[in-house]
Structure 1
Amino acid sequence: MTMSARTAELRPALENKMHGDPLAETKAGPTPEVGAAFDEFMNAFEAFKEANDERLGEIERRLAPDVVTEEKVARLNDVLDRQERAIERLTIEGRRPRLSGGTGAEPRLERAGADLSGHGAAFSRYLRAGETAALARLERKAMAIGTSDGADGGYLVPDETEAEIGRRLVEVSPIRAIASTITVSGSLYKKPFAVSGPATGWVGESEARPETDTPVLDALEYPVMELYAMPAATGALLDDAIVDLSAWLAGEVDQAFAEQESAAFVNGDGNKKPTGFLAVPNVAESAWEWGKLGTLSTGVSGGFPADMPSDLLIDLVYALKAGYRQNAHFVMNRRTEAAVRKLKDADGNYVWAPPAGLGSRATIMNFPVVEAEDMPDIAAGSLSIAFGDFSRGYLIVDRQGIRILRDPYSAKPYVLFYTTKRVGGGVLNFEAIKLVKFSAS
């Protein structure tokens, strides 16, 4: 079977997968800026292909590319990376609610918090002026978890604000966008599983059912850890009645939370943070066992194989069981993606393809690519590429409730808002994620 035929076999209805992608669609449609950035990206990709074809031709003719051609390919690769990030940034910014009324739509969170006499209004008065009485009464009435004393534990943000922060995190946190999430009210989530698998067998209609062995159960544990951000506001901002402070707060903390979360979901050691999928034990795919992630070696320390390097990616895809491939993603950082972008299959087709349209992702052999900057660069022994169904392979546990403590004293004349959320995470299914190891064995 040729490489292109095998690649065609992997096509699992890309359009359907894109519809399930949290970044695949926008409610308001693309802005002219996004459209222009996408056009520039496609033009840059055509130029990149032309330059890379020239580089590959020089390798075939002279066993080494011209230095000028190498520099041109690297420069165009950088341009593609910048354009891809610009499209993603413009798309995300286009979805964000406005911070002021002005002309056009009202701020989303002000519309959502229509109960102006309830939690939303009390929270706004706390943010602007530090009034605590109304919030304290509401939290005592709701029997909120934790202290209601603003001097100790702060106050719960309204549900609308918490939902907005969660929505933004899905948009800007690469692993959260593809993993499973569950919200709990406690500090620990346990997921039981059968160590030896279920006891089953075949019997006739009238035969006695033999007694089965008692299943051996164990549990995966996901403790939640505290994550914080501390945005600052000026007095002028707090005094401006037209500014939606709930939307402002969500916009200030989303990036801070996303950066810390993403690093932990990839590399976290489980000490006061989630356990990343690269931190769990790994073993060669041929010796895979539960509790470890399977790896495929490149056969070259710190690099791809010299002969048909794209074959390794095909092997990686087929190392995953069919049931997990339908919703699988490649995960790597932009430098690794730049290296993969240069690879061709046996028929001369690039295995990396640009996004099919605005709001969709680039693909490798028709599987979406998630760019996670916390994935390691290609180096000796590095685990720089992951592939799998992260919705079944990795679980993020959020504890319900985001708390905020207003601090007008520590950084005068600014007002600090110490915002905390609790989150945990870890591998859920060790069969659903495979890794590429850049090592000789």
Structure 2
Amino acid sequence: MVTIQQLREKIANLATQANHLLAEKGDQVWSPEDQAKFDGFTNDINATKAQIKNIETMRELEADKYFQNAAPKKDNDVPVDALVGIALYLRHGQNVSNEQAAQIRNAMSTGTGSEGGFTVPAEIATMVIEKLKAFGGMREVATILTTVSGNALNFPTSDGTGEEGEIVAENAGAGSLDIDFGTVALPVYKYSSKQIALPLELIQDSAIDVIALVVARIAMRIARVQNRHNTVGTGTNQPFGVITRAGVGKVGATGQTTIVTYDDTIDLKHSVNRAYRTRARYMMNDLSVATISKLKDTTGRPIWTPAITADAPDLLNGHAVTINDDVAPMAANAKSLAFGDFSQYTIRDVQNSTTMRRFDDSAFALKGQVGFCGWTRSGGNLLEPAAVKVFQNSAT
């Protein structure tokens, strides 16, 4: 069976050939043969990336995650740290010895179920945050702000891109230009993973890394809903998404319901003030890549540069591309492509707000299952809307 590493090496090889072709042709007008050759590289790259994504999806669905290079621990072993206490709680709930119960209390807070479960220690919270980063794309490019509490928080904003100074005559006074300040709210919301039902036998199996298993499921669910809200959230009982808050920089011409042109990508880029273009990038749905990666400039030269290494981004018009599947794919009226400085979008996490609870009630017990649920508090908003603009497909 082919491995992900082999597939990544294949992508690197294809990208090297594609970039070599770009460099070899330079500013020459591309022939149909050149174009077909380059399109073959990009098609193979996209197909291989899709294959990697499919493999990773199947890995997410696998519940049997075993400890590596470690002997199974016995339940009556003397607890040694907070992680052991968490594992005892996840594996056995309250059905433990007095010594183990003490370790669980030391590892987790004494918060009640009505308050959302037990606050997890820093090690588990860090695991959750790291997994949140792996889904969607917004946490890769946004500014992350951690606050001690979830109290109301307003950020002052001011767009100075239209302001300029002046020349003054000798002995003349300087003119005045007041700065217009505004405020942007950055509230937080309580996110839940929803209840997760897992087989009792799986949880009690000492060979299973129960912490990794439960945390992966909880974090994956929370990450997906947070990324969707941080991307297209309405701002009503949920965060404002970056696409929702950003202005429209370019609207496709009539007939462009499912396509975008090279000129559109350039117009979108220049709809963002130069002050925000230093750190700017493009963001789009993975389904849009197949269309946009084949666009050519006026000489027929591709404007898409495939990444050579796995950890490097693809480039569009020389700017990095972030793939975010919560951006709408191309369709009538869809805001399908964004460009700008996404670090102006701030995600606010509340410190020590990650909680977890195990459920042993009859709804699960009768099915031989154990229930788990996780919570965390977070929010987000685009503090400077002028920093990001979107391309909107034509309505007809």
TM-score by length of 1: 0.68
Q: For the structure 1 residues 193 and 349, does the alpha-carbon distance in structure 2 shift closer, same or farther, using more than 3 Å as the test?
A: same
Bigger relative contact order, structure 1 or 2, given CA contacts below 8 A and separation 6+? Answer: 2
Secondary structure of the residue aligned to 2:394 is: coil
CA contact (8 A) 2:136 2:323 kept: no
Aligned twin of 1:353: 305
* Offset at residue 385 of structure 1 (A): 0.3
Percent identity for Structure 1 against Structure 2 = 23
Mapped partners of 2:314, 2:165: distance in 1: 45
CA contact (8 A) 1:226 1:423 kept: yes
* Offset at residue 305 of structure 1 (A): 8.2
Structure 2 residue 371 is the aligned partner of structure 1 residue 416: yes
Map 1:31-430 onto structure 2 (within 5 A): 33-41=3-11, 57=32, 80-87=45-52, 99-103=65-69, 116-117=79-80, 119-131=82-94, 134=102, 138=106, 148-150=111-113, 152-194=115-157, 217-229=181-193, 230-280=195-245, 293-303=247-257, 309-392=261-344, 394-400=345-351, 401-409=353-361, 410-412=363-365, 413-430=368-385
Mapped partners of 1:85, 1:326: distance in 2: 31
Q: 150-159 or 342-351: which moved more?
A: 150-159
Provide Cα deviations, 1:278-317, integer angstroms capped at 9, x if missing partner: 223xxxxxxxxxxx624212323434889xx312212222
* Offset at residue 221 of structure 1 (A): 0.9
Provide Cα deviations, 1:145-188, integer angstroms capped at 9, x if missing partner: xx712365310112111111111111223111111111123334
Correspondent of 2:386 among 431, 434, 439: 431
* Offset at residue 195 of structure 1 (A): 5.1
Provide Cα deviations, 1:60-110, integer angstroms capped at 9, x if missing partner: xxxxxxxxx9xxx8x99776444214446768979xxx9543438x99xx9
Amino acid at match of 1:258: A
Secondary structure of the residue aligned to 1:253 is: helix
Amino acid at match of 1:276: G
Secondary structure of the residue aligned to 1:265 is: helix
CA RMSD of aligned residues (A): 4.3
Mapped partners of 1:102, 1:210: distance in 2: 70
Mapped partners of 1:189, 1:151: distance in 2: 23
Q: 239-248 or 360-369: which moved more?
A: 239-248
Q: For the structure 1 residues 196 and 359, does the alpha-carbon distance in structure 2 shift closer, same or farther, using more than 3 Å as the test?
A: closer
Mapped partners of 1:317, 1:300: distance in 2: 20
CA contact (8 A) 1:383 1:437 kept: yes
Secondary structure of the residue aligned to 1:431 is: helix
Amino acid at match of 1:422: R
Secondary structure of the residue aligned to 1:347 is: coil
Mapped partners of 2:134, 2:257: distance in 1: 32
Secondary structure of the residue aligned to 2:243 is: coil
* Offset at residue 271 of structure 1 (A): 2.7
CA contact (8 A) 2:136 2:326 kept: no
Mapped partners of 2:305, 2:178: distance in 1: 50
Q: For the structure 1 residues 91 and 358, does the alpha-carbon distance in structure 2 shift closer, same or farther, using more than 3 Å as the test?
A: farther
Aligned twin of 2:27: none
Gaps of 5+ in 1: 1-31, 51-55, 59-68, 281-291
CA contact (8 A) 1:301 1:381 kept: no
Q: 317-326 or 369-378: which moved more?
A: 317-326
Secondary structure of the residue aligned to 1:257 is: helix
Mapped partners of 1:213, 1:41: distance in 2: 54
Secondary structure of the residue aligned to 1:419 is: strand
CA contact (8 A) 1:188 1:222 kept: no
Amino acid at match of 2:118: Y
Mapped partners of 2:184, 2:123: distance in 1: 31
Aligned twin of 1:16: none
